Chain A
């Protein structure tokens, strides 16, 4: 079993390394552009380093990072600064054309549904786990997920089995 360093700095560093991809991908799933995802990523981990929260389990740490990432995204969208700027069109390409198309199609999905879709389809969290991570009632998450999937079906038409 891997030994965990007791030094705070090592501990923080290990957590940053372990959850970098998760936080960044969740941020990207919502912003759908890398420059905003960069900002969110930095904000989340700077909060983590500043606050140094203690968790009893890794699940709690993961849930905390998910919640803070989603909150940072919401904060960015509602900030008066963000509302006034016009973002540059960022060209993001993936290995396969289908994936690139999917990326652009997903930009049509309303912001409010992006987190649940990502947590459900990518992080493989169930409704209970998503509700705990986002601190929402399971019924709310279930409704959001149902609506999100319907909206996805509309957006993606027959191309994908959602």
Chain B
């Protein structure tokens, strides 16, 4: 219903024909950029300010940790390490310096090494994760991945390798790129395949349930259970957190719903943590059984009391559940650091010969 009303409202919005004609006429018109350039350069104070910003922020900085990064480059990708060109442009904010150390541009791919260094504390550690808070601004369509490749304890510097691929097999050279980071998480703890002490033989098969809108989900049968984006999920009504071995994740429910085992966890204020994980069942022979699907939902959206829930559902009959044990793997983080770090640098291809 919203979609129809929104569509109908927008159909009534159009640019004025005079405005369209003005733009079309400008196709043949004088070059606007010449006038703009003149206006800008009439103001010496602007030039001075721009120069100051450039000197203070974008001047190449030779830092003590650069050799360590080069060693790392040879370790991570020895065959191409020699092709990486130094960039060494840095940006400092909130006591943390982000530096673009080097880049290797070839065909439709740009690989860039960046470092994050905490100059005043210990917020950057060997678990530092940029999760989805980084962005790459490019004038053309591209996709990017980011992985942490190293950490230098003495200088408290984490090194990341960013790989950007231009779409359409287009050459990536001859332009510039802006890499920016808004936040990162650190002090992460991993709980790998830990046993969860729950008596699976005495699970409530009449728990309270409710219908919720999904915020996400997954699993091999997820699409079978939720063929369209609108369908709601039947989940357990969260209970008071029960005993659970993972700090930062609450165990808020377990029960049989429609002959399927539901297990629920929650995380308070997870936007600043990204705590997550999954459960699996293990039979007596050690075979792992993953959940059939999992769904996420949110309570108190957009408030300080926001809670993110995750519910894992296994299609195992209750009569057989006693043959299994419950395990889980979880990752939690203790520190969330916000800031504004961005570096713009040119993309120049290296000639191999």
Contacts and interface: CB of A to CB of B under 8 A. Distances in A.
Interface string B1-45: 111011111101111100110111011100111000000000000
Nearest to A56: B168
Interface in A66-120: 94-96, 98-99, 102-103, 118
B9 A56 contact: no
A129 to B, nearest CB: 11
Given A41-B19, A135-B137, 4 more contacts: A16-B24, A60-B141, A99-B8, A139-B132
Given A46-B23, A49-B26, A136-B135, A146 B215 contact: yes
Interface string A30-68: 000010011001100110011001001100100110000
A61 B105 CA distance: 24
B188 interface: no
Interface in B103-148: 132, 135-143
A115 B170 CA distance: 27
A140 B33 contact: no
Interface residues of A, number: 54
A99 B2 CA distance: 10
B216 A142 contact: yes
Interface of A: 9, 12-13, 16-17, 20-21, 24-25, 28-29, 34, 37-38, 41-42, 45-46, 49-50, 53, 56-57, 60, 63-64, 94-96, 98-99, 102-103, 118, 121-122, 132, 135-137, 139-140, 142-143, 146-147, 150-152, 154, 156, 160-162
10 contacts: A24-B14, A38-B16, A41-B23, A99-B8, A99-B9, A121-B2, A121-B3, A121-B6, A135-B135, A139-B132
**Secondary structure at chain A's binding surface: helix, strand, loop or mixed?**
helix
Contacts of A28: 10, 13
Nearest to B170: A56
A94 B11 CA distance: 10
| B27, B132, B215, B298 pick with most chain A CB within 10 angstroms | B27
B299 to A, nearest CB: 10
